[in-house]
């Protein structure tokens, strides 16, 4: 009888600990900045496996008072393979759910570890 009570007590304790440990963190807007802001997000879902493509989304911006972005340059730790590029278009989703591209710069070029792109629109 004592064995059953101790197992039940342990089960209740684990359940309560789980409920207390799981809390939803509210999203807080970051503080506005007065300099270049950038962020990189891995968009590929699933494990990173050799020979499979990995897609990243990279965003950068500066406040209007600081001027305009005129170019972007990314240096990798290893040379880029064929097909490595910086997207020269921005996208928005129209009312039909279709991603519509908007040209914002010239196509990028990759040489060894460095990929460059020039903007034509801010």
Answer yes or no: are the C-beta atoms of 116 and 72 closer than 8 Å: yes
pLDDT band at residue 94, thresholds of 50, 70 and 90? Answer: very high
Answer yes or no: are the C-beta atoms of 77 and 46 closer than 8 Å: no
Q: For the chain, how many helices (H) and strands (E)?
A: 1, 7
Average per-residue pLDDT for the chain? 79
Q: How much is the pLDDT for 62? A: 77
Rg of the chain, C-alpha, whole Å: 24
C-alpha span between 56 and 80 (Å, rounded): 14
Q: How much is the pLDDT for 46? A: 76
| Domains, the chain, ordered by start | 37-118 (2.60.40.3550)
Question: Of all residues in the chain, what percent carry a pLDDT higher than 70?
Answer: 80
pLDDT in tens, 18-60: 666 666 777 776 666 666 766 777 777 777 778 877 777 777 7
């Amino acid at each position: 009888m004592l064995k059953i009570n101790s197992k039940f007590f342990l089960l209740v304790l684990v359940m309560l600990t789980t409920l207390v440990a799981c809390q939803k963190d509210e999203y807080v807007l970051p503080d506005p900045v007065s300099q270049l802001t950038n962020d990189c997000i891995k968009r590929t879902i699933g494990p990173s496996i050799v020979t499979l493509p990995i897609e990243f989304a990279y965003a950068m911006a500066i406040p209007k008072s600081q001027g305009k972005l005129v170019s972007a340059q990314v240096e990798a730790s290893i040379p880029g393979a064929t097909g490595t590029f910086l997207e020269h278009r921005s996208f928005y989703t129209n009312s039909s759910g279709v991603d519509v591209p908007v040209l914002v710069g010239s196509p990028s070029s990759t040489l060894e570890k460095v990929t460059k792109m020039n903007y034509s629109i801010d």
